[in-house]
Amino acid sequence: MSLQEYKRKRRFDRTPEPSSEGSARTGTRPIFVVQLHHASRRHYDFRLQVGDALKSWSVPKGPSYDPSVKRLAVEVEDHPVSYADFEGDIPEGYGAGHVDTFDRGYWSTPYDPEAQLEKGHLQFELYGERLKGAWHLVRSGKPSRQPTWFLFHDKDPFASKIEADDLLDARMVASTKAAAGKSGGAKEVAQKLARTRRKSPPRAKGHRHTKAIERAAAAEGARKAKIDAEFFEPQLARLKDEPPTGENWVHEVKWDGYRILTAIADGEVHLWSRNALPWDDKIPDILQAVQALGLRSARLDGELIALDADGQPDFNGLQKTLSGEANAPLAYMLFDLPYLEGWDLSRTPLIQRKAVLEALLQDAPAHLSYSSHVVGNGAQVFAAAAEQKLEGIISKRADSPYRGGRGDDWLKIKRLEADEFAVVGYTPAKGGREGFGSLLLARPAPDGDWTFVGRVGTGFSNEQLRALSRTLARGGSSKPTIAHTEGAPRESKWIPPSAVAEVYYRGIGNQHLLRQASLKTMRPDKSPDDLRDSDRAPPAPKASAKPRKRKAQVAADETGPAIRITHPDKVLYPDDGYTKQDVVDYYRAVMDWFLPGVIGRPTSLIRFPEGIAHSSFFQKHIPSGGLHYVGSARLKEETGASAVYLYPKDADSIIELVQYNTLEFHPWGSHVDDPDMADRVVFDLDPGPDVPWERVVAAARLTRKLLKDMGLESFLRTTGGKGLHVVVPLRPASDWDTVKGFAQGFATALAGSHPLDFVAVSTKKIRHRKIFVDYLRNGRGATAVASYSLRGRPGAPVAVPLRWEELGKIRNGAAFDIRSTPERLKRLRKDPWAGIDAVEQSLEEVMKRLGGG
Tell me, yes or no, whether 717 lies in a domain.
yes
Q: With a cut of 80, say whether residue 558 has pLDDT above it.
A: no
**578 and 699 part of one domain:** no
Could you give the number of structural domains in the chain?
A: 5
- Give me the chain's average pLDDT, please: 86
Written in H, E and C, the secondary structure of 540-589 is CCCCCCCCCCCCEEEECCCCCCCEEEECCCCEEECCCCEEHHHHHHHHHH
153 near 134, Cβ under 8 Å? yes
622 near 645, Cβ under 8 Å? no
For the chain, what is the total number of helices (H) and then of strands (E)?
Answer: 17, 41
Give Cβ neighbours of residue 49 (< 8 Å, ≥ 6 apart).
Answer: 25, 30, 31, 32, 55, 81, 84, 107
What pLDDT does residue 432 have? 67
663 near 572, Cβ under 8 Å? yes
pLDDT, tens digit, 9 for 90 and up, residues 643-670:
788 999 999 999 999 988 899 999 999 9
Dihedral angle, C-alpha 453, 459, 462, 465, nearest 10 °: -10
Q: CA-to-CA distance for 662 and 605, rounded, in angstroms? A: 6
* Average pLDDT estimate for 303-325: 82
Tell me, yes or no, whether 786 lies in a domain.
no
**567 and 633 part of one domain:** yes
**747 and 663 part of one domain:** no
Tell me, yes or no, whether 853 lies in a domain.
no
Tell me, yes or no, whether 204 lies in a domain.
no
Looking at 617, 642, 667, which one is the last position of a domain? Answer: 667
Tell me, yes or no, whether 354 lies in a domain.
yes
74 near 140, Cβ under 8 Å? no
Q: CA-to-CA distance for 103 and 228, rounded, in angstroms? A: 29
pLDDT category of residue 852 using cuts at 50, 70 and 90: low
**260: β partners:** 273, 302
Other C-beta atoms closer than 10 Å to the C-beta of 677 total: 18
Burial 171-186 (b: 16+ CB within 10 A, else e): ebbebbbebbeebeeb
**650 and 721 part of one domain:** no
**16 and 116 part of one domain:** yes
Provide the 8-state DSSP code for 738.
H
Tell me, yes or no, whether 541 lies in a domain.
no
What pLDDT does residue 548 have? 33
Give Cβ neighbours of residue 115 (< 8 Å, ≥ 6 apart).
Answer: none
What pLDDT does residue 822 have? 95
**21 and 169 part of one domain:** yes
Percent of the chain with pLDDT over 70: 90
308 near 340, Cβ under 8 Å? no
CA distances for 510 relative to 280, 514, 808, angstroms:
46, 9, 69
pLDDT, tens digit, 9 for 90 and up, residues 427-438:
988 876 778 899
Q: Smallest Cα–Cα separation from 499: which of 413, 579, 610? A: 610
**241 and 306 part of one domain:** yes
What pLDDT does residue 557 have? 40
* Average pLDDT estimate for 252-257: 90
What pLDDT does residue 439 have? 94
**258: β partners:** 304
What pLDDT does residue 187 have? 57
Which of 123-137, 520-534, 556-570: highest mean pLDDT?
Answer: 123-137
* Average pLDDT estimate for 234-251: 91
Question: Which CATH number characterizes residue 406's domain?
Answer: 3.30.470.30
Q: What's the CA angle centered on 809, arms 806 and 815, to 5 degrees?
A: 95
pLDDT category of residue 638 using cuts at 50, 70 and 90: low
Q: With a cut of 70, say whether residue 61 has pLDDT above it.
A: yes
Least confident of 24-28, 391-395, 719-723: 24-28
What pLDDT does residue 87 have? 83
Phi, psi (rounded to 5 degrees) for 223: -145, 150
**3-class SS of residue 763:** coil
3 near 80, Cβ under 8 Å? yes
**843 and 762 part of one domain:** yes
* Average pLDDT estimate for 332-357: 96
pLDDT, tens digit, 9 for 90 and up, residues 665-713:
999 999 999 999 999 999 999 998 889 999 999 999 999 999 999 999 9
Q: With a cut of 50, say whether residue 561 has pLDDT above it.
A: no
Pairing relationship of beta strands 603-607 and 617-619 according to DSSP bridges: antiparallel
pLDDT category of residue 185 using cuts at 50, 70 and 90: low
Q: Smallest Cα–Cα separation from 36: which of 94, 100, 130, 98? A: 100
* Average pLDDT estimate for 426-453: 86
Give Cβ neighbours of residue 418 (< 8 Å, ≥ 6 apart).
Answer: 502, 503, 504, 505, 520
**115 and 247 part of one domain:** no
Burial 61-73 (b: 16+ CB within 10 A, else e): bbbbbebeebbeb
Give Cβ neighbours of residue 626 (< 8 Å, ≥ 6 apart).
Answer: 275, 276
Q: CA-to-CA distance for 494 and 426, rounded, in angstroms? A: 7
What pLDDT does residue 625 have? 45
pLDDT category of residue 545 using cuts at 50, 70 and 90: very low
Q: Which residue has the higher pLDDT, 96 or 853?
A: 96
Going 26 to 28 to 30 to 32, the CA torsion angle's sign is negative
403 near 491, Cβ under 8 Å? no
Q: What's the half-sphere exposure (Cβ side, CA atoms, 13 Å) at 477?
A: 14
pLDDT, tens digit, 9 for 90 and up, residues 747-771:
999 998 998 899 988 776 677 789 9
350 near 396, Cβ under 8 Å? yes
**406 and 425 part of one domain:** no
Q: What's the CA angle centered on 693, arms 691 and 698, to 5 degrees?
A: 95
What pLDDT does residue 27 have? 55
Looking at 363, 385, 410, which one is the last position of a domain? Answer: 410
Q: Smallest Cα–Cα separation from 127: which of 306, 4, 292, 338? A: 292
* Average pLDDT estimate for 715-735: 96
Tell me, yes or no, whether 609 lies in a domain.
yes
Question: Which CATH number characterizes residue 745's domain?
Answer: 3.90.920.10
**183 and 59 part of one domain:** yes
Annotate 617-635 with DSSP letters as a single string.
EEE-SPPTT--SSSEEEEE
How is the beta sheet containing 603-607 ordered, strand by strand?
Answer: 617-619, 603-607, 662-667
Provide the 8-state DSSP code for 666.
E
CA distances for 706 relative to 360, 678, 747, 750, angstroms:
66, 21, 11, 9
What pLDDT does residue 384 have? 86
Q: Smallest Cα–Cα separation from 680: which of 807, 821, 775? A: 775
Q: What's the CA angle centered on 549, arms 545 and 550, to 5 degrees?
A: 125
pLDDT category of residue 546 using cuts at 50, 70 and 90: very low
Catalytic-residue membership of 826: no
Percent of the chain with pLDDT over 90: 51
What pLDDT does residue 15 have? 81
Tell me, yes or no, whether 139 lies in a domain.
yes
What pLDDT does residue 544 have? 34
Catalytic residue among 55, 132, 254, 770: 254
Q: Max Cα separation, the chain?
A: 90
What pLDDT does residue 609 have? 84
Distance of CA 483 to the CA centre of its chain: 33
Instruction: Identify the domain containing residue 156 by its residue range.
Output: 3-195
What pLDDT does residue 624 have? 44
**150 and 170 part of one domain:** yes
pLDDT, tens digit, 9 for 90 and up, residues 476-504:
889 999 999 988 998 999 999 988 999 88
Q: With a cut of 50, say whether residue 213 has pLDDT above it.
A: yes
Q: With a cut of 90, say whether residue 181 has pLDDT above it.
A: no
Looking at 667, 686, 704, which one is the last position of a domain? Answer: 667
Question: Which CATH number characterizes residue 466's domain?
Answer: 2.40.50.140
Cis ω on the peptide bond leading into residue 732 (within 30° of 0)?
yes
pLDDT category of residue 397 using cuts at 50, 70 and 90: very high
231 near 272, Cβ under 8 Å? yes
